[in-house]
């Protein structure tokens, strides 16, 4: 209302404005043109149909592609394998080929699951590992804060963890046995399991469900 989303004096154009709709004040955000969308997956066929089975999180992959096409932009899909059309299980296809304009087959070193690992099967449901293999969080002021936060967790609750300090709560909850009676989730789309931290944040060890970020 006061500054229109502008950060400083050099920013001239309002990003948001207050308008009247049916007699009520609403915030109006103008749409932004999208020229190019870059998405990634596991396998893509010759028509652009793409699967995400080795992705630890789905994020907004489908929605980004839809938004780009709706804006008249192009969609570039990167995958680790390019396969023949008709060879993919249709139930595993998350991105329909009609949304994809260009296909890029990535080299292994350019297609890491995240900044921390090349590929971790426990982040995709391909494997379930003993939780004892997860390294405990080192003692630090950060861990002390996380332990205090974990004391507020109640039985049979759903916990949504954000980036930064909250990620330590998952590690502490595992150490204290609290994760056995709560469900940890990450906004990126992983549900259940033990959420990762640092460069592995977003995925979860022994994840139970993976949904899209907007869901």
- CB-based contacts of 3: which residues, under 8 Å, 6+ apart? none
Identify whether 132 is a catalytic site residue. Answer: no
Q: How far apart are CA 202 and CA 196, in angstroms?
A: 7
What is the CB-side half-sphere exposure of residue 44 using CA atoms within 13 A?
A: 23
End-to-end CA distance of the chain: 29
184: closest CA among 168, 97, 164?
168
Pick the catalytic residue: 53, 80, 175, 187? Answer: 187
| DSSP H helices in the chain | 61-70, 141-150, 167-176
Q: Give the catalytic positions in this structure.
A: 187
């Amino acid at each position: 209302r006061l500054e229109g989303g502008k950060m400083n004096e050099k920013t001239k154009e309002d990003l948001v404005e207050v308008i009247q709709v049916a007699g009520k004040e609403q915030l109006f955000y103008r749409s932004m043109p999208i020229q190019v969308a870059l998405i990634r997956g596991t396998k893509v066929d010759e028509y652009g149909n793409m699967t995400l089975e080795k992705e630890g999180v789905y994020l907004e992959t489908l929605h980004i592609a839809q938004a780009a096409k709706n804006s008249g932009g192009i969609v570039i899909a990167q995958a680790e394998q390019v396969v023949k059309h008709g060879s993919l299980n249709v139930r595993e296809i998350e991105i329909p080929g009609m949304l994809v304009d260009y296909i890029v087959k990535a080299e292994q070193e350019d297609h890491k699951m995240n900044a921390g690992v090349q590929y971790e099967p426990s982040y995709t449901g391909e494997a379930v590992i003993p939780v004892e293999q997860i390294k405990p969080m080192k003692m630090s002021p950060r861990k002390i804060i996380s332990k205090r936060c974990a004391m507020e967790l109640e039985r049979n609750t759903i916990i949504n963890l954000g980036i930064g300090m909250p990620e330590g709560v998952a590690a502490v909850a595992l150490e204290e046995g609290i994760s056995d009676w709560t469900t940890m989730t990450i906004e990126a789309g992983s549900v259940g399991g033990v959420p990762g931290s640092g460069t592995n944040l977003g995925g979860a060890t022994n994840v139970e469900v993976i949904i899209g970020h907007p869901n």
